[in-house]
Amino acid sequence: MTDTCDSDASSAPEGESGVVVAPFESSGLYAKLFFGERSRLAVVSSRAPRATGTGGLDFEASIPAFHRWIQDGSSLGEDEFAIDVANYAHLHNGPGVFLVTAKSCFGLDAIGGAPGLKYARKRGLVGSPTTKIAAVLARLFAFAERFEADPGFVAAAPHRKLRTDALEFGIVDRLRAPCVKATFDAVSPPLSAVLESLTAQQVNLAPEPDPRRPFSVCARWHETMSASAESFSILRRRAAELEVAGASETL
């Protein structure tokens, strides 16, 4: 995967001419916040043979925090409930550790060599593009809020803060959202609008260039706030407002 968030402009693969896309008919939307500069980080596991470098991340350390999340029954979103915790921390640049719900995953993930916090929806997302994007972001920010406030989670990334100047947005659905320019063209306007509304800044979008991978874009803007539970709480509330506002949009 090309490092779309730490490099300058990339372009989306052209794809076959006349390819029809409908990215927002999909429920497979995800959003991800990064830990620090991607290139400087090494994801390690306390159990894996790779040496633990300073600034390394230990995803397995987050497992008890995920289980506590299930035990304390905190809300994950009104239509979701937790099922279990999956551990793939042994995989290189993999999905790490995640909480599985019936419709989504909340995870610490390193896919594409970019460690971060991810909310990935799988099913049951309804509404306009704005509503869907905002719903996914609201849950991601709620996760980030919990992450920053819970020492159990922080143990997984003791010296790292989440970045607040970039995020990755993607749609894992090769039928409706193949990784081609047409999808990028369809996704960019509503995604930019939501992110600009959230950050009050101009946002640059760079698409994933490898057509074999799921469609994704990296969104970047100038840093505006510190990575704290409070900041993510503000972003979560704003995203939730946009989710509601998006309901009045025509689909």
Partner 1 sequence: MVLTWKERLDKAPGLSADLKRQIDAFEQDISLRKQGKVDERLFAETRLRRGAYGQRYDNGQRHDGKVPRTLPYEEKASKGPNTVWDAPGMQRIKIPYGHMTAAQMLTLAEVAEDYADGVLHVTTRQDIQLHFVHIDDTPDLMRRLGAAGITTQEACGNTVRNITACPTAGVCSTEQFDVTPYAEALSSFLLGHPDAQDFGRKFKVAFSGCAGEACGLAYMHDLGFIARTETVDGVTRRGFMFLVGGGLGAVPQKAELFTAFLPEEELLPVSQAVCRVFARLGEKKNRGKARLKHLVIKMGVGPFKEAVMEERARLTVDPRWTAYLQDLGAIPNPPTVSQASESASASESESESESESESLSEFERWRQTNVRVQRQMGYSVVTVALPLGDLTADQMRDLATVATQFSRGEGRATVEQNIVLRWVKDIDLVDVHAALSGAGLAERGAGTIADITACPGTDTCKLGIASSRGLASELRARFMERQDDLDPVVASLRIKASGCFNSCGQHHVADIGFYGSSRKRGAHAVPHFQVVLGGQWSENAGSFGLAVGAVPSKRIPEVVERVTAAYVSDRAPDESFQTFVRRIGKARVRQMLDDLTEVPGYDVSPEYYSDWGDPRVYSMSDYGVGECAGAVVPLVEFGLHASERKVFEAQLQLDAQAHDMAARVAYEAMMTAARALVERETSHAVADDDVVVREFRARLHDTKRFHDPYAGGKFALFLFHAHERLDEGIGEAEAHRRVEEAQLFIEAAHAFYERTLKEAMPR
Q: Which two tokens stand for residue 31?
A: 């959003």
Q: Residue 174, class by beta-carbon neighbours within 10 Å (0-12 exposed, 13-18 middle, 19+ buried)?
A: middle
Q: How far is the CB of 90 from partner 1 (least distance, A)?
A: 4
Give me the DSSP letters along 181-233. Answer: HHHHHHHHHHHHHHHHHHHSS--EEEE---TTSPEEEEEE----S--SHHHHH
With CB under 8 A as the contact rule, the residue among 8, 17, 18, 49 that binds partner 1 is 49
Please report whether residue 244 would count as binding partner 1 according to CB under 8 A. no
Binding flag, residue 34, partner 1 (CB under 8 A):
no
**Which one, of 221, 214, 218, 222, lies nearest residue 5 by Cα?**
218
Q: Binding partner 1 by CB under 8 A: which of 2, 3, 6, 88?
A: 88
Task: Measure the CA angle with vertex 104, ends 59 and 139; round to 5°.
Answer: 80
The correct pick among 42, 100, 155, 193 for binding partner 1 (CB under 8 A) is 100
Give the length of the chain.
251
Q: Which stretch binds partner 1 (CB under 8 A): 4-12, 42-50, 155-163, 188-196?
A: 42-50
Q: Does 71 bind partner 1 (CB under 8 A)?
A: yes
Q: How many chain residues touch partner 1 (CB under 8 A)?
A: 45
Residues 6+ apart with CB under 8 A from 189: none
Q: Does 91 bind partner 1 (CB under 8 A)?
A: yes
Q: Give the interface segment with partner 1, choosing from 17-25, 143-151, 157-165, 188-196 (CB under 8 A).
A: 17-25
CA–CA separation, 194 and 230 (whole Å): 20
Interface contacts to partner 1, rule CB under 8 A: 1, 20-22, 25, 28, 45, 47-49, 60, 63-64, 67, 70-71, 81, 83-88, 90-95, 98, 100, 102, 105, 111-112, 122-123, 172-176, 212-214
